Structure 1
Amino acid sequence: MPPDAPTPPPAPASWRIALPHSTAAVPIARALVRTALADIEAPADSDTAELLTAELVANAVEHTDGSGPIELVVELMAAGCQVEVHDHDPDPPGDLSRPGPGSETDPWQEHGRGLLLIRTLSSACGHRTTERGKAVWFTLPSIPEQPGPSPRS
Structure 2
Amino acid sequence: MNGPVVHEPASPASWRVALPHTAAAVPVARALVRRALAEQEHAADRDTAELLTAELVANAVEHTAGRAPIELVVELLPTSCRVEVHDQDPEPPGDLVRPAVEQPDPWQEHGRGLLLIRALSSSCGHRPTASGKAVWFALPVVSVRQGLS
* TM-score, normalization by structure 1: 0.87
Deviation, structure 1 residue 6: 6.6
**Equivalent-residue separation in structure 2 for 1:42 and 1:16 (angstroms):** 17
2:147 paired with 1:144 = no
2:109 aligns with: 110
Q: Number of aligned residue pairs: give it.
A: 146
For 2:57, give the aligned amino acid. V
Instruction: For CA contacts below 8 A with separation 6 or more, give which structure has more relative contact order.
Output: 2
Deviation, structure 1 residue 78: 1.1
For 2:67, give the aligned amino acid. S
Distance change in 2, residues 1:6/1:24 (3 Å): closer
User: Which structure's CA Rg is the greater one?
Assistant: 1
Deviation, structure 1 residue 80: 1.5
Distance change in 2, residues 1:122/1:58 (3 Å): same
For 1:111, give the aligned amino acid. H
**Equivalent-residue separation in structure 1 for 2:73 and 2:103 (angstroms):** 30
Equivalent residues in 2 for 1:1-153 (5 A)? 8-99=8-99, 103-148=102-147
For 2:118, give the aligned amino acid. R
For 1:116, give the aligned amino acid. L
| Structure 2 residues without counterparts, runs of 5 or longer | none
Distance change in 2, residues 1:6/1:86 (3 Å): closer
Q: Deviations over 1:37-78 (max 9, x none)?
A: 000110000000000000000011111123322000000011
**Equivalent-residue separation in structure 2 for 1:111 and 1:146 (angstroms):** 37
**Equivalent-residue separation in structure 2 for 1:66 and 1:38 (angstroms):** 33
**Equivalent-residue separation in structure 1 for 2:7 and 2:140 (angstroms):** 17
* Percent of residue pairs identical: 69
**Equivalent-residue separation in structure 2 for 1:96 and 1:116 (angstroms):** 7
For 2:145, give the aligned amino acid. Q
**Equivalent-residue separation in structure 1 for 2:64 and 2:42 (angstroms):** 31
Q: Deviations over 1:85-106 (max 9, x none)?
A: 0000001111112427x54333
* TM-score, normalization by structure 2: 0.90
| Structure 1 residues without counterparts, runs of 5 or longer | none
